[in-house]
Amino acid sequence: MRPDLNLDYALLVPEYILGLLALAIIVIDLMMPKIRKDALPFITAGGLAVAFAVSLLYIDTDDNFAGLLSIDDYTTFFRCFFIAVTFVTVLASAQYVQTHLRHPGEYYSLLVISTVGAIYMAAAQELLTAYIALELLSFSLYVLVSYAKMERRSNEAGMKYMLLGAFASALLLYGISFIYGASGSTSYAEIAAAFEGGTEGFTFGTLIGLTLIVAGLGFKVAAVPFHMWTPDAYEGAPLPITAYLSATSKAAGFALLLRLFSGALMPVIDDWQFMLAAVSAITMALGNLIAIQQRNIKRLLAYSSIGQVGYMLMGITALSPEVSSALLLHMTGYVITNMAAFTAIIAYHNASGAEDVSDFRGASDRAPLLAAVLTVALFSLAGMPLFAGFLTKFILFQSVADNGYFWLAALGVVASLVSLYYYLTVIKEMYVSAPPDSFQQEGRFRIPLIMQGAVIVLTLGVFFVGLYPAPLFELTDSVAAVLFTS
Amino acid sequence: MLDTIPENAVWAIFFLPLASLLVILFLPRSQATAAGVVAALCIGAAFVLSLWALDSSLQADGHPLSFSSHEWLNVGDVLEVNVALNVDGLTAVMLVVVTSVSFLVQIYSMGYMKGDGGYWRYFAYMSLFTASMLGLILFNSILMVYVFWEMVGLSSYLLIGFWFHRPAAAAAAKKAFLVTRFGDLGFLMAILLIYVHAGTFDIAAIQDLAIAGAIGQTVLTWFALGVFAGAAGKSAQVPLHVWLPDAMEGPTPVSALIHAATMVAAGVYLVARMFPVFQVSPDAMSFAGAIGGLTALSAAMIGVVMVDIKRVLAYSTISQLGYMMLALGIGAYVAAIFHLFTHAFFKALLFLGSGSINHATNTFDMRLMGGLRKTMPITFITFVIGSLSLAGFFPLAGFWSKDEILSDAWAHERYLFYIALITAGLTAFYMFRAIFLTFFGEYRGGAEPETGAVVATLSNQAPVSTEPGGFEPDPVQAHAAAGAPHTAPEAHHGPHESPWLMVLPLILLSFPAILAGFANYNHDIEHLLVGALPEGAEVAEPTFRMGVAIAATIVPAVGVILAWAIYHAKVISAESLARLFRPVHSLLENKYYLDVLYERVVAGFLFHKALGGALATFERYIVDGAVNGAATSVRQTASVLRYLQSGQFQTYGALAFSSLVFTTVLVLVLSPL
């Protein structure tokens, strides 16, 4: 071990808390069968809240752990981000897990562990650490996607996700080895330094390495043409896990991409920029066009999220401090919106078992609050003003156009129009179509208070970001600046 | 003379309707009837303040009043969006139009919507609309304009689909939303483009840069065309006009306010606001003029064959909006906005009149009306006033503004002058056709009121609008088509004048419909509007041409006489005319088959089936492989392993691998080595 390594273990306290929490949940689940059913999600949520609070203590830290993990504002931002997403997911899962799944202990425990993986993906400043963090997240997700083990679709989805994930990991590792071969290091800073002097002599290897890394990470974030696992995994996974996939798994992929490309690969930007531009363009085009045809709400949102990945990849393509900050802003807005949409869908599903778009007919009569929230969220996803989606997307598009990729931004505008079309079909079902006959006997759905509270808070978030984005934008701007200071 | 309006008062104009929205939202449902009063009071106050703003603007000779700029989104040097109010001559004119029409429409709505289950919701949406529309006018940043632009689109969507349980209304709402968004694509791209090149969202700054020649010609042309695309969507210009006639599914006061007087004029307003930019780009100008001319003429021709009075008015609106665009295209900026100003009043009057007729007859089908002049004298008189004004007869409001456009067209673009002149004749013809069918002759029975919670309005809409009828009204057939039993007029109460809440706004609107033209008598409006332009922008000097004025009176007069001869005196048989011009007639009745083209071919086939379908099929059969087949086999064997060997995963893997190889090859070919 090199003596100059900084082994300040205190930097990792939030993750210790999360690790202990994961263990504690399993132990409680095993040892205290009496309280396990109802209390587990709330214990988990409490632990997450503690970890969140502790993470806040690291604001303005600028340090690293053994040259492997940066503990800076970027990491702090994502610590809070991922812990918050898990918090919402856990609360949204409470009812669902009780009625649909067995072994809740492991479920919550795996969610917490996957959060650690996601955080380290954002924190890693070295390729192998990044890889291991990614695997930590992925393996937890493989299990979680197939968690409804009595359900064929869930098993199928988990298996597919795992095999393709393994495939992607192989590509990524292979790519990493090429980059290592070309630069002689796996540390982001050293890679950047090696490439700074030009890539003569190993351009070919660099290119192959870059391609493989784009492909491998493309799988993880579900970029076309590496998106095939997404619809199946989204459809098969338990609903809260679908929500979690669409938020954390995606955001973590982008957190990694952003630090990797800005920290290590910026000097060879000419070698990868066009690749990402192409991937971004086909991703938003295809994702949105195929979404039109979907009848299952989870598949619809899966393709919609693929389209959203296209917008976000735009931000990696035209990489610069402004674009990064816009990307972080958009990602935050997107995740809040998406969690609002999914929480509403979960609550509706708990009450009705709905899965298809047509099951939402008459939702405005059966569950007015959920219908309104879902409408707000879908309008936001489509990029309507007043809601988060417009402003964050606009700022992203505008900064991308400003950095020389006007055509990509223009394509994004067109893709948003297409997305409005299929979101409107869902809204139409909810408000225009009459509720099924059973409505007369059943009356309105009873939605648990906690779900009502969650959707209301998330909806307020959607409006807040949409109307007054300045605080959040300032935050993401200072966070993104960290990436470009060195 | 009052003091200059303080900034807070201008903010109040914007916030009053918002306050009304909030109050209505939190109103106890038992007090829902108060919603109308709240909305009308708030907008009434906004109207008074708007008059103050107009007065201040007159004193400032139309130049922008100076208000402080507020920081909204400033992040380092990344992005800077400041929000400031902008009150100049153009704004002041628009403010008065929007708040006055809105105020009268809210009063009218209290009568019209009485007893509707969604009474409070209606006024909430209306307040939302008014606030958005005022925001669109008041702010100085093009980004804010876009935000409110979309907000008015959203409130229009909500209001067209107000009776959302009726499929036709829901479909119309969605259509309007999507079609206008098509234009908005261009607008949003234009904003992105101009920001890249000008580095600001501030409209005045963009205008100055354009005039100073600091932005390239090509960029400006694309920007102007993008803005025009947005305007064409909202102002229903060909080929994006198809949503407006369908939007008539909304409640009639909504049609009057949003789809006649204010929102649809927003496109014209936007082009006028960006007028200095258009001037720098002659190509965009002549394009706008040509589209405007095409819209004016083609919509007026459809108006001639419609049998639904509200659709006649809808096509008339499209046609008049085309008129305004045409004017902007030839540089007649003052004339265009002047026409917008007068049009708002007489068209709102006509729409509210049609609502009043509907209130009495339960239908919009003119074949079921007739003879209403005796039973509904006030509606009749005000409707005739509106029609005369629209047709442009001296000395009513429409005459002055239309004459100015014609005069400018004569001076600048001869072919557009003739288009505008023919349109004027057609306008007079279809309006008086409507008057003779509705108010003269014998009453032809109306329709049964619709039962249920929903106020009966458009029950006969769909069959009426699609059923190819003749020139000649055929009440029996129409009744059969509408599915309503043929009832003698005596069978129910018979038509009667509407309640005073509805009649009063008609009377009040008649005054500006007659007199608004004199607003420019001392060139007041002209000063206001010209003062709103930045230094260096040139405007065509409007001149009065006696020859044009005479032509502009004779041609509509011929139209009226023809309408009288065909529909009242019946000297000429409408049926034989229809037979004579069969192909043209059916072309017009089917609105040039554009709806069919869009709905079936473009949206249905090309977009949904061919493109989306092909991609989805690709996913389903090639990418998704044998999901279904595999699923069946899994069900049979319950073996995951077996399932995995059935080609599913291999397909995925193979596809992923081939994409990777493809990407790699692409990279090697394309990479800048």
pLDDT for B299-308, tens place per residue?
Answer: 988 888 888 8
The per-residue pLDDT for B645 is 39
Closest Cβ–Cβ partner in B165, B174, B612 for A293: B612
Closest Cβ–Cβ partner in B72, B195, B615 for A290: B615
Q: Is the pLDDT higher at B610 or at A242?
A: A242
The per-residue pLDDT for B471 is 35
Inter-chain contact A410–B672, Cβ cutoff 8 Å?
no
> Which tokens sit at B455?
């106020």
pLDDT category at B476 given cuts 50, 70, 90 is very low
* Candidate from A118-127, B173-182, B554-563, B591-600 with smallest mean pLDDT: B591-600
How many residues does the structure list for chain A?
486
B residues 604..623 contacting A (CB < 8 A): 607-608, 611-613, 615-616, 619, 623
Strand partners of residue A474: none
User: Chain A contacts of B664, Cβ < 8 Å?
Assistant: 208, 211
* Candidate from A263-272, B336-345, B495-504 with smallest mean pLDDT: B495-504
Distance from CA of A18 to the nearest CA of B (A): 34
Asked if B634 has any chain A CB less than 8 Å from its own CB, the reply is: yes
pLDDT category at B457 given cuts 50, 70, 90 is very low
Closest CA in chain A for residue B163: A432
Closest CA in chain A for residue B670: A274
Using the predicted structure, report yes or no on whether residue A363 has a pLDDT greater than 90.
no
The per-residue pLDDT for B669 is 62
CA distances, A415 to each of A304, A402, B186 (Å): 10, 19, 13
Tens-digit pLDDT profile for residues B581-632: 777 777 777 777 777 777 776 666 666 666 666 666 666 655 554 344 444 4
Give the max Cα distance, chain A: 75
Nearest-Å Rg of the Cα atoms of chain B is 27
What average pLDDT does the structure give for chain A?
Answer: 88
Distance from CA of A7 to the nearest CA of B (A): 35
Using the predicted structure, report yes or no on whether residue B45 has a pLDDT greater than 90.
yes
Choose from B240, B660, B664 for mutation: most chain A CBs within 10 A. B660
Where on the phi/psi map is residue A316: left (φ > 0), alpha (ψ -120 to 50), or beta?
alpha
The per-residue pLDDT for A9 is 86
pLDDT category at B249 given cuts 50, 70, 90 is confident
Inter-chain contact B79–A413, Cβ cutoff 8 Å?
no
The per-residue pLDDT for B466 is 32
Q: Which of A153, A164, A377, A148 shows the shortest CA–CA distance to A241?
A: A148
Asked if B516 has any chain A CB less than 8 Å from its own CB, the reply is: no
Closest Cβ–Cβ partner in A210, A229, A402 for B195: A402
Average pLDDT score over residue span B237-241: 85
Using the predicted structure, report yes or no on whether residue B635 has a pLDDT greater than 60.
no
Closest CA in chain A for residue B607: A289
Average pLDDT score over residue span A427-435: 81
What is the C-alpha separation between B25 and B35, in angstroms, rounded? 9
Closest CA in chain A for residue B150: A385
Distance from CA of A134 to the nearest CA of B (A): 20
Inter-chain contact A207–B78, Cβ cutoff 8 Å?
no
Using the predicted structure, report yes or no on whether residue A341 has a pLDDT greater than 50.
yes
What is the C-alpha separation between B181 and B409, in angstroms, rounded? 31
User: Chain A contacts of B164, Cβ < 8 Å?
Assistant: 431-432
Select, from the ranges A347-356, B129-138, B464-473, the one with the highest average predicted confidence (pLDDT). B129-138
Inter-chain contact A401–B196, Cβ cutoff 8 Å?
yes
How are beta strands B69-75 and A69-71 bridged, if at all? unpaired
Closest Cβ–Cβ partner in B613, B615, B670 for A286: B615
Percent of chain A topping pLDDT 70: 97
Using the predicted structure, report yes or no on whether residue B463 has a pLDDT greater than 80.
no
pLDDT category at B548 given cuts 50, 70, 90 is confident
Closest CA in chain A for residue B190: A410
Using the predicted structure, report yes or no on whether residue A83 has a pLDDT greater than 50.
yes
The per-residue pLDDT for B610 is 66
* Candidate from A285-289, A353-357, B338-342, B528-532 with smallest mean pLDDT: B528-532
* Candidate from A389-403, B77-91, B625-639 with smallest mean pLDDT: B625-639
Tens-digit pLDDT profile for residues B345-358: 999 999 899 988 88
Which helix (H) or strand (E) segment holds residue A32: the answer is: none
Tens-digit pLDDT profile for residues B261-282: 888 889 999 999 999 888 888 8
The per-residue pLDDT for B585 is 77
What is the C-alpha separation between B413 and A102, in angstroms, rounded? 78
Q: Is the pLDDT higher at B604 or at B515?
A: B515
The per-residue pLDDT for B616 is 66
> Which tokens sit at B632?
């069946």
Average pLDDT score over residue span B400-428: 88
Average pLDDT score over residue span A117-142: 94
Residue-wise burial string across B375-397, b where 16 or more C-beta atoms lie within 10 A, e elsewhere: bbebbbbbbbbbbbbbbbbeebb
Inter-chain contact A215–B154, Cβ cutoff 8 Å?
no
ipTM of the complex: 0.80
Using the predicted structure, report yes or no on whether residue A53 has a pLDDT greater than 60.
yes
Choose from A269, A282, A284, A386 for mutation: most chain B CBs within 10 A. A386
Distance from CA of B100 to the nearest CA of A (A): 26
User: Chain B contacts of A420, Cβ < 8 Å?
Assistant: 177-178, 181
Strand partners of residue B81: B73
Closest Cβ–Cβ partner in A226, A398, A424 for B195: A398
User: Chain A contacts of B147, Cβ < 8 Å?
Assistant: 385-386, 390
Asked if B500 has any chain A CB less than 8 Å from its own CB, the reply is: no
The per-residue pLDDT for B663 is 67
The per-residue pLDDT for B475 is 38
* Candidate from A69-73, B271-275, B453-457, B596-600 with smallest mean pLDDT: B453-457
Closest Cβ–Cβ partner in A203, A275, A432 for B170: A432
Closest CA in chain B for residue A170: B657
For every residue of A181-225, DSSP letters joined together read HHHS--BHHHHHHHHHT--TT-HHHHHHHHHHHHHHHHHHHT-TT
The per-residue pLDDT for B254 is 87
Inter-chain contact B79–A399, Cβ cutoff 8 Å?
yes
The per-residue pLDDT for B615 is 67
SS3 content of chain A, % helix, strand, coil (to 5): 80, 0, 20
Which helix (H) or strand (E) segment holds residue B588: the answer is: helix B582-589
pLDDT category at B452 given cuts 50, 70, 90 is very low
Choose from B188, B200, B599, B637 for mutation: most chain A CBs within 10 A. B188
Tens-digit pLDDT profile for residues B191-227: 888 888 888 888 888 888 888 888 888 888 999 999 9
Cβ neighbourhood burial of B494 (10 Å; 0-12, 13-18, 19+): middle
What is the C-alpha separation between A195 and A205, in angstroms, rounded? 12
Closest CA in chain B for residue A215: B660
Asked if B599 has any chain A CB less than 8 Å from its own CB, the reply is: no
Average pLDDT score over residue span A211-221: 89
Inter-chain contact A219–B656, Cβ cutoff 8 Å?
yes
Cβ-Cβ pairs closer than 8 A, A with B, add up to 167
pLDDT category at B76 given cuts 50, 70, 90 is low
Inter-chain contact A398–B79, Cβ cutoff 8 Å?
yes
Average pLDDT score over residue span A154-158: 85
Asked if B394 has any chain A CB less than 8 Å from its own CB, the reply is: no
Which helix (H) or strand (E) segment holds residue A251: the answer is: helix A250-263
B residues 47..106 contacting A (CB < 8 A): 71-76, 78-79
Q: Which of B134, B137, B109, B136 shows the shortest CA–CA distance to B124?
A: B109
Angle between helices A297-317 and A321-352 (to 10 degrees): 170
Closest CA in chain A for residue B614: A290
Q: Would you say the C-alpha torsion B543, B545, B551, B554 has a positive or negative sign?
A: positive
Q: Which amino acid type is present at position B66? A: S
State how far Cα B621 lies from the chain centre.
Answer: 44
C-alpha atoms less than 13 angstroms from C-alpha of A474 in its C-beta half-sphere: 6
